[in-house]
Amino acid sequence: MYARNTYTKKVLVPLWSLHIFFDMILTFGMVYLMLNTSGNTGKAIPASYDASFAFFIACVGTEPLEAILYGFRVLQPWTYLAFQVGKALFWSIYLPIALARPANGTRDTIWLILTIFVVLVTLSYYASLIYAVIVFRRWRNSDRLDAIVRFYANRLSTDAPDKKIRNSHQSKPPNQNDLTRNSSHVSHLSSNSRSTQDSSLSASKPIRQPALPVLS
């Protein structure tokens, strides 16, 4: 699960719409080229056409998949970044091939139109890649911030019971039994001190000796 503000719907929805639109046009255009090649010339469909058609279908399928994952909030930023890196890498390889094909002598109008859409869809996937990098960095920074917040929250939660215990010890009223024991101890000490004083007074008082009879 990620923070709700990790993605921006106003950016994702237009990008998904552009990708689906361009990919569908390229898919239908590739189907036309494949049928035209096999029907008019009777030749086998080139393997490059098959590979391009398969990847166009894959690109069309990944866009709704990303939207569904985003709707359930399980589209992780690193997953979204991996999707965009893979698609941008393919279109970066496919773009020079599409541009070089008309230069090799094939001047079909449909191929020229497809080449224009290949350029547009490649640029749109570059935009998605840039946005995926921004989302990933935002997600990493938010994770670091969450880790710092959790660290200090744990510190505060562990320090709070200790402070509460210290405060309870400081503000705890004296026990009645302790007061009774202290008072009895004090009274015992006072009685001992009085007995000591009495004994000292009796020791210091002069002893009267009886008078001796006078002999005549």
Over residues 26-71, the pLDDT tens digits come to 899 888 888 877 766 667 777 778 888 888 898 889 999 999 999 8
Q: How confident is the model at residue 141 (pLDDT cuts 50, 70, 90)?
A: confident
Mean pLDDT of 81-87: 94
pTM, 2 dp: 0.62
In a domain, 174, yes or no: no
Higher pLDDT, 45 or 172: 45
Tell me the per-residue pLDDT of 103-125, one tens digit each, with 9 for 90 and over. Answer: 444 556 777 888 889 999 999 99
In a domain, 186, yes or no: no
In a domain, 77, yes or no: yes
In a domain, 37, yes or no: yes
Helices then strands (H, E): number in the chain?
5, 0
13: DSSP letter = H
Q: What pLDDT, on the 0 to 100 scale, is given for residue 216? A: 40
In a domain, 14, yes or no: yes
Rounding to the nearest 10 degrees, give the CA dihedral for residues 201, 204, 205, 211. 160
Listed in sequence order, the residues at least 6 apart from 211 whose beta carbon sits closer than 8 Å to its beta carbon are none
Give the domain range for residue 24.
4-162
Q: What's the domain count of the chain?
A: 1
7: DSSP letter = S
